[in-house]
Structure 1
Amino acid sequence: MNTRTALPEGVISLPGHEAHARGVLDANAWAYFAGGAADEHTLNANPAAWQKLQLHPRILRPVAGGHTRVSLLGRSLAHPILLAPVAYQRMAHPDGEIGTALAASAQQAGLVLSTQASTPLEAVADAIRNDPDRGPLWFQLYLQHDRGFNLELIHRAEAAGYEALVLTVDAPCNGARDRERQAGFRLPPGISAVNLSRLVPRPDPARHPHQSALFDGLLQQAPTWDDIAWLQASTRLPLILKGVLHPDDAREAARLQVGGLIVSNHGGRTLDTLPPTAEVLPEIVEALGGSLPVLVDGGIRRGTDVLKAMALGGAAVLIGRPYIYGLANAGALGVAHVIRLLRDELEIAMALSGCPTLGDIPADLVRRARN
């Protein structure tokens, strides 16, 4: 495992971090962090969809005194960039989730910690608790088969100071990840989902030979809309649903009065051939009519992508793989560098588009490329 803490020479962009990390991570870790489901059509379509959108700027607009601030869930954020939940970060660098948290805090970025973090949720919260300028700290939740354990995990997150729960709703089972299977992926010794260590094994119901291990086994306890109401009654934290792609699901979430939505296709890691999030985002925003904040992840690699997401009605964006590549390259410093690069590029894109603030984005800033 790489233990470098100095920025690699010549890396000046998020794609540059990715290219460098390819030579740093071993084949096992690269397959896990970089791979997607099946033929990886969605994995590749996500960044391509942002690139196909064109910016249509205005000129000679006054932009002095501009800023990147946004308001989200009652908080003022210095910028609209958050770090998406990614599991097992100590597999990328010994700094792991602590390094990521320190970098996010230093760069005022929001952080969503994974249920499957390789560092206890309390330790991550403690590392940045006393920074008054940090961004929001949220906890991502995969509902487990044991409701009592779910309650314990939620209460731990509340007690540690997490400010929202992010429920992943698009992955009741893993996708068919060919790259991981070809690499024979396995967690290295000493790395595990430590926050799930007290979870009792899932009961394996007796099945007839003709029954499915998936449909008649694992999915017997998969979450449904009924669990959303139970979860809301079980926590004082706002609940954000991550993995929404269909307008009807967005409307149902609004009916249940959740705190927000994240338009996400799980970075192309679950079901392949899903639409890219850049194409889905405006459909979800239109369906909700401003009733809920809508965030988006998937393929964001440039500040222009962030600006496009905001122009399409997004409240904020999340990045996943890019900061993991930064972590692999230089630990906490690498993560901070990724966030800073993206924020700097966002400011440049705003200035060159005639938008001093994100609230000044005109409706026609983004258009589809003409074939």
Structure 2
Amino acid sequence: MPGQPDLQTGGYSIEAMRLLARSALPRFVFDFADGAAEDEWTLRRNEAAFDDYVFLPKPLNGAGERDLSITLFGHRLSMPLILGPTGLAGLFWPQAEQCIARAAAAAGTAFCLSHGSVCTLEDVAGIGASPRWMQVFIYKDRGFTRELASRAEAAGYDALVLTTDNQVLGKRERDLRNGFSIPPRFGPLDVAGMALKAPWLWRMREELQRINFGNYVRDGEKADIKTLAARMQSLLDQGMNWADVDALRAQWRGPLILKGVLHPDEAREALQHGIDAVIVSNHGGRQLDGAIGSLDALPGVVEAVQGRMPVLVDGGIRRGADMVKALALGATACLEGRPHLWGVAVAGEAGVAHVLETFRREIDRVMGLCGLRSIADIKPSLIRRSSFH
């Protein structure tokens, strides 16, 4: 396709892919994914926290062959990386959610569909990619929470991810500066910016007319995105509590994962309420600016659960080395969000596949250099707090 970069030379790292995405996308679209809340301190801390740790390799252990796979909820994943939920992915590439799901399945790992996907959860299930997880919230209309869970079960989703840190929308100042809103409103400057990104505009020429929140459309309804966005915001319930978690646990028979856990006490309580795993996450810094960095919170959550459930982590992962450090601190696996959005924005499914392969090669390289034959060999003794910070 004209204007599509050579991924092998231009996308040699996740940061390089980010720069390609910045070149490919109108500014307001790029900033929607790249930005975070208020001063973006938590976003920066998520990334910087990995620099606080250094490796203590043992190359003479001899790791000529390395196995990156893990088993999670009965599924063998090719590596300890899962594609996390990212709303409005269809704004970056036509049928982006399907592209992301296919790339994850081809790479042998799992993905989680956002509640705010452009397509419906049934559309993504229809391509057969798995393992597939579905994100849900606790809504004021508890019936709608139950409805989404029922639809996910009927569509064969393998796990439900209950996200708890989005009940009050964060103040994302890049979006405010750009005039970007949900639903998107395209003013004269936006249209001019889109015109300067001709390949993106050409790809999206038909998609932009039907960008929507597919999971929120009622049967037989012809609601536009403005109506659906207002419905989504009105449904968010700031008064959600553990009783709501219990109700969802009673309904959903598969793995139930709690996303947005930062406090050790909440992790302990999750165990008592029958949660199957937690995701240590601050929503990529997009909600509460000043919240603890995900990697900073990870050890406390790991200690709190004492190995009684998997602990996953997301936020700031930009290198395979970051994932190895997170695993050394006790994580079972990691999730990422922005990197695969950058990949899909650059080259669709091939871009996501390239991002996944970049991470896989980097994990493998770190393991080889550290003398690690398998993920199980990644122990706390592999890393040490850096004395340079």
- TM-score between both structures, scaled by the size of structure 1: 0.90
Higher helix share: 2
Q: Verify: 1:363 aligned to 2:380, yes or no.
A: yes
Q: Verify: 1:352 aligned to 2:369, yes or no.
A: yes
| Structure 1 counterpart of 2:43, one-letter code | L
Q: Verify: 1:267 aligned to 2:288, yes or no.
A: no
Aligned to 1:222: 239
| Structure 1 counterpart of 2:348, one-letter code | G
Q: Verify: 1:318 aligned to 2:335, yes or no.
A: yes
Aligned to 1:34: 34
Give distance in 2, aligned partners of 1:254 and 1:113.
Answer: 24
8 Å Cα contact 2:249-2:274 kept in structure 1: no
| Structure 2 counterpart of 1:270, one-letter code | Q
Give distance in 2, aligned partners of 1:3 and 1:334.
Answer: 14
8 Å Cα contact 1:8-1:330 kept in structure 2: no
8 Å Cα contact 1:32-1:180 kept in structure 2: yes
Aligned to 1:247: 264
Give distance in 1, aligned partners of 2:58 and 2:37.
Answer: 40
CA 1:108/1:5 → structure 2, altered by over 3 Å: closer, same or farther?
farther
Query: Following TM superposition, by how much is the alpha carbon of 1:52 offset from its aligned partner in structure 2, in angstroms?
Result: 2.3
Question: Which moved further from structure 2: 191-200 or 311-320?
Answer: 191-200
* 1:1-371 equivalent positions in 2, closer than 5 A: 4=4, 7=7, 9-129=9-129, 134=130, 136-186=131-181, 187=184, 189-198=209-218, 222-371=239-388
8 Å Cα contact 1:37-1:175 kept in structure 2: yes
Query: Following TM superposition, by how much is the alpha carbon of 1:35 offset from its aligned partner in structure 2, in angstroms?
Result: 0.7
Give distance in 1, aligned partners of 2:24 and 2:236.
Answer: 37
8 Å Cα contact 1:3-1:331 kept in structure 2: no
Give distance in 2, aligned partners of 1:258 and 1:178.
Answer: 34
| Structure 2 counterpart of 1:53, one-letter code | Y
| Structure 2 counterpart of 1:73, one-letter code | F
8 Å Cα contact 1:3-1:330 kept in structure 2: no
CA 1:333/1:219 → structure 2, altered by over 3 Å: closer, same or farther?
closer
CA 1:115/1:109 → structure 2, altered by over 3 Å: closer, same or farther?
same
Query: Following TM superposition, by how much is the alpha carbon of 1:6 offset from its aligned partner in structure 2, in angstroms?
Result: 6.2
Deviations 1:262-318 (A, max 9, x none): 000100000001111111111100111001100000000101011111111101000
8 Å Cα contact 2:141-2:235 kept in structure 1: no
CA 1:11/1:234 → structure 2, altered by over 3 Å: closer, same or farther?
same
SS in 2 for 1:140: strand
CA 1:8/1:77 → structure 2, altered by over 3 Å: closer, same or farther?
closer
Unaligned regions of 5+ residues in structure 1, if any?
205-213
Give distance in 2, aligned partners of 1:39 and 1:166.
Answer: 28
CA 1:4/1:144 → structure 2, altered by over 3 Å: closer, same or farther?
farther
Query: Following TM superposition, by how much is the alpha carbon of 1:227 offset from its aligned partner in structure 2, in angstroms?
Result: 0.4
Query: Following TM superposition, by how much is the alpha carbon of 1:234 offset from its aligned partner in structure 2, in angstroms?
Result: 1.4
8 Å Cα contact 1:322-1:338 kept in structure 2: yes
Query: Following TM superposition, by how much is the alpha carbon of 1:258 offset from its aligned partner in structure 2, in angstroms?
Result: 0.5
8 Å Cα contact 2:313-2:335 kept in structure 1: yes
Superposition RMSD on alpha carbons, in Å?
Answer: 2.2
Question: Which moved further from structure 2: 187-196 or 333-342?
Answer: 187-196
CA 1:24/1:300 → structure 2, altered by over 3 Å: closer, same or farther?
same
- TM-score between both structures, scaled by the size of structure 2: 0.86
CA 1:218/1:137 → structure 2, altered by over 3 Å: closer, same or farther?
closer
8 Å Cα contact 1:137-1:164 kept in structure 2: yes
Aligned residues: 353
Give distance in 2, aligned partners of 1:3 and 1:117.
Answer: 26
Unaligned regions of 5+ residues in structure 2, if any?
185-207, 222-226
